Chains A and B, each alone.
Chain A
Amino acid sequence: MQMEKEITVTINGEAKKAKVEPRLLLVHLIREDFNMTGTHIGCDTTHCGACTVLLDGKSVKSCTILAIQADGKKVSTVEGLLNADGTLAAIQEAFKENHALHCGFCTPGMMMRATELLQKNPNPSEDEIRWGISGNLCRCTGYNNIVKAIQYASAKIRGEALPSTEPIFV
């Protein structure tokens, strides 16, 4: 047990205080101390991306950031994605409408990563999307529909006509 340190983290707009060991990972602060379990843990080497959150607007893997590194910063998680009026955010609607999730375990991290991707590049090509989410593993979907969902969210955010969400068969 190391000396605990008090930190303040603004999570989804709400400032929260916590006393933490310096070694505590941000993902554990979010899940265990703040009881927000939408952010998941899928590996121990920063490869799967299930724990992806936004730290001051930048997507990070919260299993590789110490809680104390988030002191005084803003963290956004899946729980904060909904629009202010309680409707689904474009990326959430896109994932549901395009069947971009099966088990749902990678989904929060995938959506957080996609959120930043679309903020930086509102109209990405398929290749840019695939490279853009290559730090997030999904074992269920085969990625086709995640790509489709991000394209849908991109259209929605830009106010363009939404692509069909019906499955396309050859």
Chain B
Amino acid sequence: MIQECKTSKAISGMGHSMKRKEDGRFIQGKGNYIDDIKLDGMLYMDIHRSPYAYAKIKKINIDKAMKVPGVVAVITGKDLEKYNLHWMPTLMSDTQMVLPTDTVMYQAQEVAAVIATSRYAAADGVEAVEVEYEVMKPVMDPYKATLPGAPVLRSDKKGKTDNKIWHWEVGDKKKTDKLFETAEVTVKEEIYVPRIHVASIETCGCVADYHKVNNHLTMYMTTQAPHAIRTVIALVAGHVGLTEEKIRVISPDIGGGFGGKVPVYPGYVIAIAVSFLVGKPVKWIEDRSENLQADSFARDYHITAEMAGTKAGKIQGIRFKVLADHGYTDASANPSKFPAGMFSICTGSYDYDTAFVEADAVYTNKPPGGVAYRCSFRVTEAVQGIERITDRFAQTIGMDPAAFRFNNFIKKDQFPWKSPTGWSYDSGDYELALKKAMDVIDYAGLRKEQAEKRKKGEIMGIGICSFTEVVGAGPSKDFDILGIKMFDSAEIRVHPTGKAIARFGTKSQGQGHETTYAQIIAEELGIPAENIQIEEGDTDTAPYGLGTYASRSTPTAGAAAAVAARKLRDKARKIAAYLLEVSEEDLEWEPGVFFVKGAPEKKKTIQELVFAAYTNHPQGMEAGFEATHYYDPPNLTFPFGSYICVVDIDKETCEIKVRRFVAIDDCGNIINPMIVQGQVHGGLTQGIAPAMFEELIYDEDGNILNGTFMDYLVPTAVESPSWETGHTITPSPHHPIGAKGVGESPTVGAPPAIANAICDALLPYGITNIDIPITPYKVWKALKEKGVVKAI
């Protein structure tokens, strides 16, 4: 399916695979990432971290560290306590230590910060800090955390008597319970979505630059949401005089974010405090081990998934129960009203009216989180749940998983569709996407091949995932973070010569906004995208916005760009009418030109009209050619897709090979097909990662067992299959350009497709579920239990 282009290649509006405008600097080593920033007199900060998961701090001795040449200061929780800066709020209104005064709650927690004149001296200082601990037995298992008698981890909270953070539920419990009592078929599966890490190749960091004379802070930091961060800093540090107008947050080029650069980490706050106290710029850059061990974890959802339906293959309802391990504080970045994010999208792509979904969050002695890792707030977990249990149901009644899905899909004419958990799906054509994926991969042929291979004892599996996403948070009536509504913004300024700059409240981390936003404006105004400069990430210049995560940039700021551009087109029409001496109704628009109906030779180009706005505007009209729009979406958008994966498993080694993977996505109208495809490729590799390789593992004593890239297995080009991708186009009916957002669909859709393929392969041996990541060892163990393979 090819997106129709309404503009010429010279304009490069929507649908053109325009090469990226941002690439020039990156391929010449001229990107400007956080660690590239160097300021006069800059000091370096490094952090001493706890080797224990749960311990009382008996004593911190900084004497030796202070004697290290180059060390300027060592900051502990007691120092910050004097300014009431030792605790901070999380984006979920929980509380988190900046530096501890008495207790550490997870391994690798920040204990002291060393400030020095060089990176190496700071690291030497960290080695020289001496801390005496009284080690306690940590609580690492979230189920054990809920048991009576479990130590109360957050005893800092007055009146806290257990480790529960919140309980959340949605749906009709009574009706659902009744269905499960009476249904012909019910299936149940325990599904764990493991704790993983975003592992962007750039870690987190900042340069805090406080000027005493002006009482002004410039904060360069790796943040996906610069404006929200500015407000948070003002909330945390307003009492020491750093009010919001005195704070400028600059988010430079970001080396991958994926949700991990949304939260506020203690390192940022300590750097600000130190710059404030010392009056010099302070740089803090995490190393990889710190990044993996202390920040940005995602998932860690223990799901009990149940499905009820008929023997004939009709789904009637679901019942999901979740235990969410948030570590020692809830440091997610979900919208306030949604502590479990959009997990209730777990009813999936299927037509039924009964559901009950509940989640409980608990504290453990693990690092805080969890971030929405390339996922619109827990949608990955939801889709893993529904797509695995859907396969289990189909297997239970002996129906082909594709046929079972067709039997239950919400039909094209049922949209907008009200889900039993309250969402209003805007549009979809689920049958079309799955049909296309099946045609491309030759599903029937593969099933035939599989039947033949099974006769020979060979292990081959085919897995399907037909997911529905919910992205683009969100409508202000329901969506806010710390009370700030989740609109987003665009400001367009067109210069007299017809070239433009546009600024946004979002922040690209590789998504290609400098190109795609320019294309949206080019589509609406007919100004070549090449002539439209895009700027994000500086709170002094960009309009306020909530940032880039949860696939929200196109649904919110992309919409704002289109609406702001349309305001300008309306103004251009007025100027054209004035210049051509006709009424506005007599004018017609084609990209870049207004002309008189029936007399196309009487025309004005957008460049001429913009020039007139500065040189010859109608009296009574405001001069200039600028527009701003804050877009408050009427609904979320609901991208979807169908993925099919084929795996071969070696019976001797249990090595799993993804032979083919076809991904058909529908993200509505496409701005830049090349970039959409790139997003899908990348997301798929981040989908195979937790499906087969990645998991953060802790032992009972709270030690992380794979906290470096040596043992945390980020897929390389060898593990990553050659992806086959395509799309269908079902425009969003409520979005100004009919787009939906795409970055996260593949991360959400790939893990269940792979898990379903592997479990399909193992079904003849009576193996129905293996939790991701599904490794050769787990497969071997499962086959050994069934007596299929033997230990050597």
Contact = CB atoms under 8 A, between A and B. Distances in A.
Contact of A134 (B35, B120, B258, B717): B717
Identify the interface centre among A1, A126, A146: most chain B CB within 10 Å of its CB: A1
B718 interface: yes
Contact of B19 (A35, A77, A99, A142): A99
B718 A167 contact: no
Interface in A1-49: 1, 21, 23-24, 28, 31-32, 35-45, 47-48
Contact of B709 (A39, A43, A143): A43
A104 B120 contact: no
B714 interface: yes
A88 interface: yes
A26 B160 CA distance: 51
A80 B19 CA distance: 23
Nearest to A106: B201
A42 B716 contact: no
A84 interface: no
Interface in B109-125: 119-121
Interface of B: 1, 17, 19-20, 22-31, 33, 35-36, 38, 69-70, 119-121, 198-203, 253-258, 287-289, 440, 509-512, 662, 664, 673-675, 677-686, 708-710, 714, 716-718, 720, 722-727
Contact of A44 (B30, B38, B289, B510): B289
A72 to B, nearest CB: 23
B681 A145 contact: yes
A104 B19 contact: no
Identify the interface centre among B198, B685, B708: most chain A CB within 10 Å of its CB: B685
Contact of A45 (B35, B201, B288, B677): B288
B709 A139 contact: no
Given A24-B120, A36-B29, A48 B201 contact: yes
Contact of A79 (B28, B119, B253): B28
A142 B199 contact: no
A167 B677 contact: yes
Given A130-B718, A133-B717, A145-B681, A139 B258 contact: yes
B29 A79 contact: yes
Interface in A87-107: 88, 92, 95-97, 99, 101-107
A162 interface: no
A92 B23 CA distance: 9
Contact of B201 (A31, A129, A138, A142): A138
Contacts of B722: 126, 144, 147
Given A43-B709, A139-B200, 4 more contacts: A95-B27, A104-B31, A108-B29, A147-B717
A137 B709 contact: yes
A45 B712 CA distance: 11
A43 B708 contact: yes
Contact of B31 (A44, A105, A138, A167): A105
Contacts of B682: 102, 139-142
B19 A42 contact: no
B240 to A, nearest CB: 32
Given A95-B23, A134-B716, A166-B17, A103 B662 contact: no
A47 B710 contact: yes
Contacts of B678: 99, 102, 141-142, 145
Interface residues of A, number: 65
A78 interface: yes
7 contacts: A43-B287, A97-B19, A99-B19, A131-B718, A138-B201, A143-B685, A145-B678
Identify the interface centre among B20, B69, B70: most chain A CB within 10 Å of its CB: B20
Contacts of B29: 36-39, 77-79, 81, 108
A35 B511 CA distance: 27
A103 B200 contact: yes
A88 B25 CA distance: 11
Contacts of A50: 201
Contact of A104 (B17, B23, B680, B718): B23
A31 to B, nearest CB: 8
Interface string A117-136: 00000000010011101111
A39 B202 CA distance: 12
Given A104-B510, A140-B256, A130 B31 contact: no
A169 B717 contact: no
A23 B503 CA distance: 44
Contact of B714 (A44, A107, A139): A139
Contacts of B70: 1
Given A103-B255, A137-B709, A92 B19 contact: no
A161 interface: no
Closest 6 CB pairs of A and B: A38-B29, A105-B255, A104-B26, A103-B510, A142-B681, A102-B510
B28 A146 contact: no
Nearest to B675: A99
A111 interface: yes
A137 B116 CA distance: 31
A169 B674 contact: no
A104 B26 CA distance: 5
Contacts of B509: 103
Contacts of A78: 27-29
A133 B24 CA distance: 22
A36 B31 CA distance: 11
A102 B26 CA distance: 9
Contacts of A134: 716-718
Given A42-B202, A45-B708, A137-B716, A142 B685 contact: yes
Contact of A142 (B17, B25, B683): B683
B573 to A, nearest CB: 35
Identify the interface centre among A21, A78, A92, A102: most chain B CB within 10 Å of its CB: A102
Contacts of B677: 99, 167, 169
Nearest to B508: A103
A79 to B, nearest CB: 5
Contacts of B30: 38
A136 B201 CA distance: 10
A30 B84 CA distance: 40
A109 B708 CA distance: 19
Contacts of B511: 102
A134 B718 CA distance: 6
Contacts of B17: 166-167
Contacts of A77: 29
Contacts of B718: 130-131, 134
B253 A104 contact: yes
B637 to A, nearest CB: 21
A144 B33 CA distance: 25
A92 B288 contact: no
Contact of A139 (B35, B120, B256): B256
Nearest to B679: A102
Interface string A44-67: 110110100000000000000000
Contact of B28 (A43, A81, A126, A147): A81
A105 B202 contact: yes
A45 to B, nearest CB: 5
A135 B27 CA distance: 19
A144 B721 CA distance: 8
